[in-house]
Structure 1
Amino acid sequence: MINGGTTIHTADGSTVTVTLRGIEYDLHVRNARGDTIATVEMSADDLDALYAEMGEHVGNDEDYDEDYDQGYSDGYYDGQEAA
């Protein structure tokens, strides 16, 4: 399960931040400039289902590469290295 306060960084510099709001979660989707482009409300069950579905498509924790994820959060794109 994703806990509240988790931020997911995408390849294009966008982010999805998951925050707990009462008994539900808000997913704040922001573009690379930081503009909010969507806010989605989800129940805990729906968030768990989304997280499970994501895991099926992008791999599981065994495949997690911290350096790869840090590169995306630093704003790098596929094949780009730090200058």
Structure 2
Amino acid sequence: MRHFQTIHTADGSSVTITRRGIEFDLETRNARGETISTVVMDEADVKALLTSAGVHIRAFDDAYDRGYRAGWRDGEAA
């Protein structure tokens, strides 16, 4: 299971943040669903970005971090 959050804009575009292990992919799509850009960021950079925007997402939930450290990957035991 991947943890992600999608924000839809008024013009039909979207930004999706997906956690992939210790990194995050930020993908922007236009209203036609075409990928415009993908940026890979580490957790500290994503936290700084979201904090500056006043946003909180569940990907930073401590339960997920504890499970990841315990060896779980994408909802499966490693």
Secondary structure of 2:10 counterpart: coil
Q: CA deviation digits over 1:21-66, x for unaligned, max 9? A: 12000001000110000001011111011001112xxxx78xxxxx
Q: Runs in 1 of length 4+ with deviation above 4 angstroms? A: none
Q: Which runs of 5+ in 1 are unaligned?
A: 62-83
Cα root mean square deviation, aligned:
2.0
Query: 1: distance between equivalents of 2:16 and 2:38?
Result: 9
Long gaps (5+) in structure 2: 57-78
Q: Distance in 1 between matches of 2:46 and 2:32?
A: 25
Structure with the bigger percentage of strand: 2
Name the count of aligned residue pairs.
55
Percent identity, aligned pairs only, is 57
Q: 1-side partners of 2:5 and 2:50: how far apart?
A: 12
Query: Structure 1 CA distance, aligned partners of 2:44 and 2:34?
Result: 28
Greater RCO (Cα-Cα under 8 Å, separation 6 or more): 1
1:36 aligns with 2:35: yes
